Amino acid sequence: MGNSRRLVVFDWEGTLADTLGETLNTVACVARSLGLGDMDMAHARQCAGLGLVAALRRVFPGLSLHQQEQLLEAVQYQLNTRGAEVCLFPGARELLARLQHTGVFLAIASNKGQQSLMRAIQNAGLSGVFTEVRSASTTAQKPAPDMLQELMDAFAVSPGETLMVGDSVNDILMAASLGVDSIGMDFYHLQEADLRAAGAFAVFDSHDRLAAFLQLPE
């Protein structure tokens, strides 16, 4: 990574934590347990933005009303009672360790609530990795620039010394509004064009490819 970078800011959900993948795996397991067969994961990812109720109807179109209600109830129960373990994307932990080795500051900017975000970071075993964290509980939500501006102020770095990494258009728009370079993450190949249109100068589908692009030491 270029010597000019002193701060790398990550989004959390969809960038480091694979929240969507965890949810889809839960739905697939519940569907199989109810005898509804195997779920088309690729189709399910395409429907993820519709919300749970609409997505289930789209992914399982042939169900009776009773089956729809049964599936929804079972999925909601599993999502509400699942353990505290956080599922990170493959290579995320290694990427962060390699970035730490270079001496750059690492921070989080997330639209997730502060309490649940800090709990997730702790459960992922990453509490000592991020020096600063900003969330929607304490700062205006992305794409407002407040989170990123506060983080740059906290580390006394300029936009040119900062890099934003996120999976949503809001991450990219926030960075662009402050003149900060951004990289998009598109693990499920759903929105590369949107991320690039918003201003991301590169988009990757794995942390390994991001690490290679940044030329991080092993």
Q: What is the pLDDT of residues 25-69, one digit of tens each?
A: 889 999 999 999 999 988 888 887 677 888 899 999 989 999 999
Q: Is it the case that residue 3 has pLDDT exceeding 70?
A: no
What does the block give as tokens for 88?
């990170």
Q: How many domains does the chain have?
A: 2
128-179 tens-digit pLDDT: 999 999 999 989 999 999 999 999 999 999 999 999 999 999 999 999 999 9
Measured distance CA(176)–CA(178) in Å, rounded = 5
- Torsion (CA) 120, 124, 130, 135 in degrees, nearest 10: -10
Cβ(57)–Cβ(68) below 8 Å? yes
Q: Is it the case that residue 20 has pLDDT exceeding 90?
A: no
Measured distance CA(16)–CA(59) in Å, rounded = 26
Strand 7-10 relative to strand 162-166, pairing = parallel
For residue 128, what is the domain's CATH number? 3.40.50.1000
| Residues 165 and 184 reside in one and the same domain | yes
Q: In the structure, what pLDDT confidence band is assigned to residue 23 with cuts at 50, 70 and 90?
A: confident
Q: Is it the case that residue 84 has pLDDT exceeding 70?
A: no
Where in the sequence is the domain holding 184, given as residue range(s)? 7-17+87-214
Check the CA dihedral 200-202-207-211 and report its sign. negative
2 lies in some domain = no
Measured distance CA(198)–CA(218) in Å, rounded = 31
| Residues 200 and 103 reside in one and the same domain | yes
What does the block give as tokens for 158?
């300029």
56 lies in some domain = yes
Amino acid at 207: H
Task: Report percent pLDDT > 70 for the chain.
Answer: 97
Q: What pLDDT is stored for residue 204 in this prediction?
A: 98
Measured distance CA(132)–CA(119) in Å, rounded = 15
Instruction: Output b/e per residue, 98-112; b: 16+ Cβ within 10 A.
Output: bbeeeebbbbbbbbb
210 lies in some domain = yes
| Residues 178 and 131 reside in one and the same domain | yes
Q: Which residues contact 162 (CB under 8 A, 6 or more apart)?
A: 5, 6, 7, 8, 9, 148, 151, 152, 180, 181
